[in-house]
Amino acid sequence: MDILKPEKSLWIYHLNTGSCNGCDIEILAALTPKYDAERFGVKLVGSPRHADIVVATGPVTAVAKESVLRVIDQVPDPKAIVVVGVCGITGGVFRGGYSVAGPLDTLVPVDVYVFGCPPKPEGIMVGILKAAEVLELKRKGNYHKEVVKISEHGETI
């Protein structure tokens, strides 16, 4: 029954690890009335302790690294991490920069990658829904680490 399924309640925490703000704008666009993420039970929360899914953007700068790790550690289990934008996936244009300590998956396990610079809100929505599937697998105990890759338009790659 949907009403009892925890994956129908997705509280997301938006974590900026040092992005150019392009991906962040698209994440907020995905939560606006036009895309209506709330119909899937998605709610943006202010505190990582309330979250189920962390939506991270940016290449993880050296100054942000400690805070990012602390914030992700504060999210209760089961949790899923979605990286939005190529910066978070590979470091993007910032890769190899003196101030970059990422990408994120070298620091913490990431479940879903949403490609694009920045991705479209559709891609971010699909990424969040894929993260819900990951949460369900984790809850049922048959989660095998498989990387889910989503294109900027929302297709699975």
Partner 1 sequence: MIIGVWVLWLIALFIWSLLIGGIDRKIVAHLQGRYGPPFWQDITDFLKLFRKRGKTATRSSSIVSDVALIVGIIAVVVGLSILPMPTVGGYTQLLSTSGDLIILAYVFALLAIVYVLIGFGGKSPYTMVGASREVSMLLSYEIPFILVIVAMGYRAILLTGLPVSTIFSIAGFLVLKQKMALLLLDPIFLGSFLVLLILGPAIVGAVPFDIPEAETEIVDGYGAEMHGPRLGVLFGIKHMKLLLYAYFLWTIFLSPVTSNIWLNIIMTLLGTLLMVLVIYTVPRAVSGRFRVEQGAKFYLLGPGLASIVLLLLSLI
Residues that bind ligand SF4 (CB under 6 A): 19-20, 22-23, 57-58, 85-87, 92-93, 117-118
Return the residue of 2, 144, 156, 157 that touches partner 1, per CB under 8 A: 2
100 vs 125, beta carbon nearer partner 1 = 125
Q: Which of 29, 65, 69, 74 binds partner 1 (CB under 8 A)?
A: 74
d(CA 87, CA 95): 8
* Residue placing its CB nearer to ligand SF4 in the complex, 20 or 51: 20
Q: Which residues, numbered 3-42, are part of the site for partner 1 (CB under 8 A)?
A: 3-6, 8-9, 11, 33, 36, 38-41
Q: Give φ, ψ of 56 to 5 degrees.
A: -105, 145
Q: Give yes or no for residue 140 binding partner 1 (CB under 8 A).
A: no
Looking at the DSSP bridge assignments, the partners of residue 12 are: 44, 53
- Shortest distance (Å) from residue 20 CB to ligand SF4: 3
Q: How far is CA 33 from CA 11, 30, 37, 90, in A?
A: 17, 8, 8, 31
The residues, any chain, with a CB within 8 Å of residue 112's CB and separated by 6 or more, are 80, 81, 82, 83, 127, 130, 131, 134, 148, 149, 150
